[in-house]
């Protein structure tokens, strides 16, 4: 356990030189770094200093373009689902609009997956244009069709805060609205089978290519295959919105 959470340190020249020295002291010949954007950049810096280093995508945000899934994402979504299930009880008994803000930085995947899986009426993600009046229209239409309440999943990277949206809804519909910000509850807990499995597969793969002499590679999963890219190339790939799922969340919420 190295406590690298404060990535700033790991990203300075001094921090990296210290890391190289420590690895030499302990005669560590290869390194597998698990983390998000920042850890990956640190891994690449170490590789450039001659340490055989491989990166594994460890973040709940699922915001790395080169891999379909990051380690931790599935656990975070299941935690969000469990919260939605609890919140539905109060939301329906009180006939309210319930806004659930989930994490993901600039990526809407936690909101999208938890929204589809949890049967949310509306999902708001940064990857998809958003008009608050549209949201109000959907809420009122749902009400007219007999829906007693409404659950909205809001990604933290969306162009509106949960508090702002809640006030807007109270003003423009006849309905009461409440906010729950899930926060760091999503960044912990016992990992799911899916996360353990991709972590095990990526970890074994990472060790294998390290032993083959590779370095500065980012390991990921594409389709159902474990793959690896040059770290620099991997980090410069551009994430595309998952149009299939955005469309699916619309279809299922009707």
Which residues of the shown chain bind a copy of itself in the complex (CB under 8 A)? 3, 5-6, 68, 74, 77-79, 81-83, 85-91, 93-95, 98, 113-114, 116-118, 178-190, 192-194, 196-197, 200-201, 204, 222-225, 244-245, 248, 251-252
| Residue appearing with tokens 């008009």 | 131
- Do 182 and 100 form a contact (C-beta atoms < 8 A)? yes
List the strands of the sheet with 225-230, edge to edge. Answer: 30-35, 52-57, 217-222, 225-230
Tokens representing 12 are 């300075």
* Separation between Cα atoms, residue 215 and residue 231, nearest integer Å: 9
Q: How far is the CB of 188 from a copy of itself (least distance, A)?
A: 3
DSSP symbol at 71: B
Q: Which is nearer to a copy of itself, 47 or 116 (CB)?
A: 116
- Do 80 and 60 form a contact (C-beta atoms < 8 A)? no
Q: How many C-beta atoms lie closer than 10 Å to residue 152's C-beta?
A: 26
Q: How far is the CB of 103 from a copy of itself (least distance, A)?
A: 11
User: What is the torsion angle, in degrees rounded to the nearest 10, for the CA atoms of residue 187, residue 191, residue 193 and residue 197?
Assistant: 90
Q: How far is the CB of 201 from a copy of itself (least distance, A)?
A: 6
* Separation between Cα atoms, residue 246 and residue 158, nearest integer Å: 14
Q: Which is nearer to a copy of itself, 101 or 216 (CB)?
A: 101
Q: How far is the CB of 21 from a copy of itself (least distance, A)?
A: 23
| Residue appearing with tokens 């290519």 | 209
The catalytic position among 61, 63, 109, 195 is: 61
Concerning whether 61 is annotated as a catalytic residue, the answer is yes
Q: Which is nearer to a copy of itself, 98 or 216 (CB)?
A: 98
Q: Which is nearer to a copy of itself, 47 or 229 (CB)?
A: 229
**CA-based nearest residue to 113, from 84, 135, 89, 90:** 84
**187: helix, coil or strand?**
helix
Q: Which is nearer to a copy of itself, 22 or 204 (CB)?
A: 204
| Residue appearing with tokens 């990535």 | 7
Tokens representing 130 are 């958003």
Q: How far is the CB of 206 from a copy of itself (least distance, A)?
A: 12
- Name the residues annotated as catalytic: 61
């Amino acid at each position: 356990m190295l406590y690298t959470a404060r990535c700033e340190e790991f990203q300075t020249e001094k921090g990296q030189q210290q890391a190289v020295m420590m690895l030499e002291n302990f005669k560590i010949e290869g390194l597998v770094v698990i983390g998000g954007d920042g850890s990956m950049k640190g891994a690449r810096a170490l590789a450039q200093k001659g340490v055989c280093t491989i990166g594994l995508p460890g973040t709940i945000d699922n915001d790395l373009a080169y891999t379909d899934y990051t380690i931790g994402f599935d656990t975070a979504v299941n935690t969000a689902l469990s919260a939605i299930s609890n919140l539905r009880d109060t939301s329906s008994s009180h006939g309210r609009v319930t806004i659930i803000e989930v994490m993901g930085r600039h990526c809407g995947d936690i909101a999208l997956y938890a929204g589809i899986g949890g049967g949310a009426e509306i999902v708001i993600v940064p990857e998809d244009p958003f008009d608050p009046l549209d949201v109000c229209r959907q809420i009122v239409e749902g009400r007219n069709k007999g829906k007693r309440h409404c659950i909205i999943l809001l990604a933290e990277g969306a162009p509106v805060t949960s508090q702002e949206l809640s006030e807007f809804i109270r003003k423009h519909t006849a309905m009461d609205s409440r906010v729950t910000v899930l926060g760091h509850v999503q960044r912990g807990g016992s990992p799911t089978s899916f996360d353990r499995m991709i972590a095990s597969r990526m970890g074994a793969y990472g060790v294998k290519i390290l032993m083959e002499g590779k370095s500065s590679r980012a390991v990921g999963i594409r389709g159902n295959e474990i793959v690896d890219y040059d770290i620099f190339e991997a980090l410069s790939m551009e994430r595309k919105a998952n149009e299939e799922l955005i469309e699916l969340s619309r279809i299922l919420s009707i």
